[in-house]
Structure 1
Amino acid sequence: MNDEHRLGPSESARIREGIAAAVLGASAELADSLERDAAGYLRLIDASRIGAEESSRLLREAVQGARAAGHSWDTVGRVLGVSRQAAQQRFADKAGDIVHGDPSTNSPDTPRRRRLGPVSAFNEMAALADCGRDGWHLVGYGAAFLDVEASAHPWEHCRVTLASGGRLRRMESEGWIPVGAGWFPWRYYKRPLLPAAEQDMK
């Protein structure tokens, strides 16, 4: 396969070291307990299991993001080192791959919702900007789609990478509302746009 899409040895090592450090750093005493407590190894298994589940989720979302960006199953399979068929069987979009930011109910008072799609990392923010001006705000998302809900006022939306820890905390203090837990590698935010008169009063 073409190696241009693969990480180099130092980048791969950095990821492996980061995952190991995250697992061992799950609690302040986990690494220390391995020197003196046999039960520490059972906690290490649990921490490793959680790390493996999260890595699996990130891989699935990365594959679905690549598909939404227009890459073929053949190209995805080559990057994964498997056949097109194997990649498609393992990672084809499942109905359950939806991230809901807000609970939904079936009551008559439930606001109207609609699904935008197909969208990709390259056009989804423009789609959110358009519908946000018309009073629609993000409530859920998944591979190649966005779920939006109607409201009485306009909204603004943004997304940042999940690696932006300090920025995420600052955004929340500025009134940005997180939507769901994120869709790797992005975290989505929204906030209502106040009428000009209300903004002047602040």
Structure 2
Amino acid sequence: MSHEALQPDEQLRAALSQVIAVINPTLADRLEHDVDSYLDLIDATQQGSQEIAQLLQAAVTSARLAGASWDRIGQRMGISRQAAQQRFGRTPADNEIINLEATRRLTPVTAFDEMEALSEAGREGWHSVGFGMYFHDLARSDEQWEHLRVGAFSAKHKDLLQAGWQKIGSMWFPWAYYKRPTGAPVRTT
């Protein structure tokens, strides 16, 4: 049966099973005769569950950055607005800023305006070192920076790293952020 003929939940289940098979290629054969293989299956499934929970948090954060209300998010998840906000409304802890002249927080930004704001900041020597809901933490340098946002599902990630782009942070869903110095001196205003 092709993936197209499967219902969406069956497609997801099949894809997740394929991921586990790729991560642990000997598991399927060992399930026929090795009791410990079932414990390995538990390990792989638990790790996948933790990753899915992080992806869900990132998806909700991204929806908020895009302007979705807690009410709409709760409706989509089949829970109340309050339950959605309590479960997913945490914001990352602010980084301690030691040198205020060399760091700053670019806020508020959304998925719709952050790249333009990062481009402007990059021309002035600022580059993103971390991000969260409605903000990018920036550090100052003596050269201009360019920033790039690509979909987490993009196949470009290895190519970008090979081209000198640096990954920013670890939140990889649904966006991945990259930066690289241009070598040009900072634009003075």
Give the alignment's TM-score, normalised by structure 2: 0.86
**Deviation per residue, 1:101-140 (Å, 9 max, x gap):** xxx895x7x9711111121111111111000000001100
Question: Compared with structure 1, are the counterparts of its residues 76 and 105 closer, same or farther at alpha carbon in structure 2 (3 Å cutoff)?
Answer: closer
Shift of the alpha carbon at 1:45?
Answer: 0.5
SS in 2 for 1:66: helix
Q: Percent of counterpart pairs with the same letter?
A: 43
- The number of residues matched between the two structures is 180
**Aligned alpha-carbon RMSD (Å):** 2.3
Q: Which residue pairs with 1:62 in the alignment? A: 59
Counterpart code for 2:84: A
2:177 maps to 1:188: yes
Q: Which residue pairs with 1:141 in the alignment? A: 131
User: CA contact under 8 A between 2:103 and 2:137: conserved in structure 1?
Assistant: yes
Give the alignment's TM-score, normalised by structure 1: 0.81
SS in 2 for 1:131: helix
In the alignment, structure 2 segments of 5+ residues that lack a partner are 1-5
Question: Compared with structure 1, are the counterparts of its residues 147 and 105 closer, same or farther at alpha carbon in structure 2 (3 Å cutoff)?
Answer: closer
Distance in structure 1 (CA, Å) of the matches to 2:134 and 2:170: 17
In the alignment, structure 1 segments of 5+ residues that lack a partner are 1-8, 197-202
User: CA contact under 8 A between 1:162 and 1:182: conserved in structure 2?
Assistant: no
2:169 maps to 1:172: no
SS in 2 for 1:20: helix
Shift of the alpha carbon at 1:170?
Answer: 1.2
Counterpart code for 1:135: G
Q: Which residue pairs with 2:22 in the alignment? A: 25
**Deviation per residue, 1:15-54 (Å, 9 max, x gap):** 2321222123222212221112110111111110111111
**Deviation per residue, 1:134-159 (Å, 9 max, x gap):** 00011001111111100000000101
User: CA contact under 8 A between 2:70 and 2:81: conserved in structure 1?
Assistant: yes
